[in-house]
Amino acid sequence: MSRHAAIVEEFDDDTDLPLPSRSLPNTGSRGAILEEIANSDDDDRGGESDDEAPELLDPSAVGGPALQPSVRDTRVTDITPFKKWTCIYPIYIDAKRPYATGARRISRSKSVWWPLSKDIADACSRLGLGTLHEVNKMHPSDWENPGRVRVQWKKDGRPVNSNIRTKKQLLETISFQIQGIKTDNVPCEPYTYPQPVPPPNVKTTKSKTGTGKSTAGGQASKTKSNPKFPQRTGRPLPSPPEPQPALKSRVSAHSPALPAGVLIETIRAGMNATEGQGAAGGLPSGKGKRKVVRVRG
């Protein structure tokens, strides 16, 4: 009797399935564990679309002191009910901006140096006003600091807060709230600090003609030696106090200028450190020699 070799396949899969975090109902042929995995995947997909949705801050969540911002928010996908709310941009209370219709709208002493939309939203929530924070909206003149806040400071034609009756009072009250928390951003006189201006390099020309043309040459030299520079009209823009805070503290976390700005500040710090080391060495360079640094891209 001949013997034939038989091949037997054994199931040796040791895959570990995740255990459910809570007791699951009996779902029949679907299986409880499979339902738990499917539900967790659906939650992950839903959370991705909510990251960019506006935040609706609840004024009733602020039950503590005025320094504590609201901790509860609601993601909003349809902003149709909030279309008639007043829009506020950080540029409206920015002390660095000139007073104009599309820029700062309150006096400089009542504004702040580095306003953020998050600070505006928290201030409105502390005032008991309806607040909708849109982090990706930006003002055309302030693209590096995005963020817009919709505020309901009037309801049925009446002010929600009895102390706020106009939009200017609303901006001033919001700015006062931010000044009370970020005291370093409060503008103080003088708003513009003097900066040394290097004298212009003007070379006087000498007349190469004879004595007969000395008068004309003298007039030409006086004209070239005393040029008239155009005078700036209007009040100069203020300069924030130095040293300025880090870039991530000056603009919104959603700013498109944040990655490039961090890179520029890093390169600038490295260049300043290199120049400082060269000046501290005090070693004279060789006569008639120069160093050429070539960077290959």
Contact 69, 122 (CB under 8 A): yes
146 Cα distance to chain centroid: 6
DSSP summary character for residue 189: S
Of 133, 114, 141, 24, nearest to 69 (Cα)? 133
pLDDT in tens, the chain (297 residues): 566 666 666 655 555 556 655 655 665 555 554 444 444 444 444 444 445 567 667 665 544 433 334 434 577 777 788 888 999 999 999 999 998 888 899 999 999 999 999 999 999 999 999 999 999 898 999 888 999 999 999 998 899 998 999 999 999 999 999 999 999 889 887 766 554 455 555 554 454 444 544 455 555 444 455 555 445 556 677 788 788 888 888 888 888 877 765 556 666 667 767 666 655 555 555 555 666 666 665
What gap in Å lies between CA 273 and CA 286, rounded to an integer? 23
Q: What is the pTM assigned to this prediction? A: 0.55
Q: What secondary structure does DSSP assign to 51-63, as a single string?
A: TTSPEEE-GGG--
The amino acid occupying position 86 is T
Residue type, 282: G
Contacts of 111 (CB under 8 A, 6+ apart): 93, 94, 95, 104, 175, 187
**Rg of the Cα trace of the chain?**
33
Domains by residue range for the chain, with CATH: 72-185 (3.30.56.30)
- Say what angle helices 167-181 and 117-126 make with each other, to 10 degrees: 100
